[in-house]
Structure 1
Amino acid sequence: MADAETRYSTLEKLVLSLVQTARRLRRYFQGHPIHVLTNFRLQNVLSNPELSGRLAKWAIELGEYAIEFKPRPTIKGQVLADFIVEIPQEKEEECKKEIEAPVDQKQDKVWKMFTDGASNDEGAGAGLKITNPEGQHFTYALRLEFKSTNNEAEYEALLAGLKIAKKLGARHLEAHVDSMLVANQIEG
């Protein structure tokens, strides 16, 4: 979220997240009925005729979709407690060993990924180059099937690269992106 957006009320942040999701997944929102599970009264807020400002703008933007708001089903506390109890002891030990492993042992098999995304009037795309520890190069070109800005194309390139690297078996990945916005977002 942008700096100004962090000062929105909780309700405005929820509506903003729905608007951003609708923008990114426009084709899905247009082609299917959408069910939003929430305990907040977003439907009442968005259907209020006295809205003004950004909420009114967002209500108009979301009005074109078939969105149905439903209450979120409850999760029994006992189910979560049972899940925690069911974690096998060897899995806990495995997690502890991975956390306590020496730094140089973790870094001996580092994969490298270079991404680049671009957008123009004709469309958007992304390029990826992934190098395994043995020096083999894997090159990918992606065409994005939705309108996007350059930063969105960069972000999509990074996400696609992470998915591909995971499928290739990468456990430790050094990612190089040329968008400062995306890099700062990923670094937190």
Structure 2
Amino acid sequence: MESPTLSERMARWQILFSEYDITYVSQKSIKGSTIVDFLASRAMEEYEPLRFDFPDEDLMGISKKEGESSKVQSWKMSFDGASNALGHVIGAVLVSPEGNHYPLTARLNFFCTNNIAEYEACIMGLCSAIERKIKILEVYGDSALVIYQIRGDWEVRDSKLVKYRDLIAELVNEFKEVTLTTPMRRKPIG
């Protein structure tokens, strides 16, 4: 007896899956040699450092303000967090007054909401800034909820977020000046 071809086996599996409302979707594949060829072609090119400009993001624009004193320049920190079925990741970038970028990323090993991930990202960035002995910091985040709760503009209704907000309030006390900014407006705290 001749063994069934791949397409015959796939058809049989589709019939069996249809009983359970399971639909088979074929996965598009990329030959391994294609990826290797691409990576090998890039190896010969000159090294290009990571670019930290995000032209399709309307989150913010970091620039020197008019009339800003050149003596006291602040560091800048942007943070973001995400939680979905693929995992929970956080990130922050510290930018020195000279324009040097210090990226931070982490994967959270516990279940959390997007708001918790945003708080965790902010905490990670603030802790890193404290370790660097930064005293003046401009903090940029895309989560209006987190920024407004930290500022005290909005009350914290979710009991899981109260401890996060309290921890950030303690961390902010380590700085001389902290400014929290959303894409909409800017307001100093502390």
Note whether the superposition's TM-score is higher than 0.5: no
Please identify which structure carries the higher helix content.
1
In the superposition, the TM-score normalised over structure 1's length comes to: 0.42
In the superposition, the TM-score normalised over structure 2's length comes to: 0.42
Is the radius of gyration larger for structure 1 or structure 2? 2
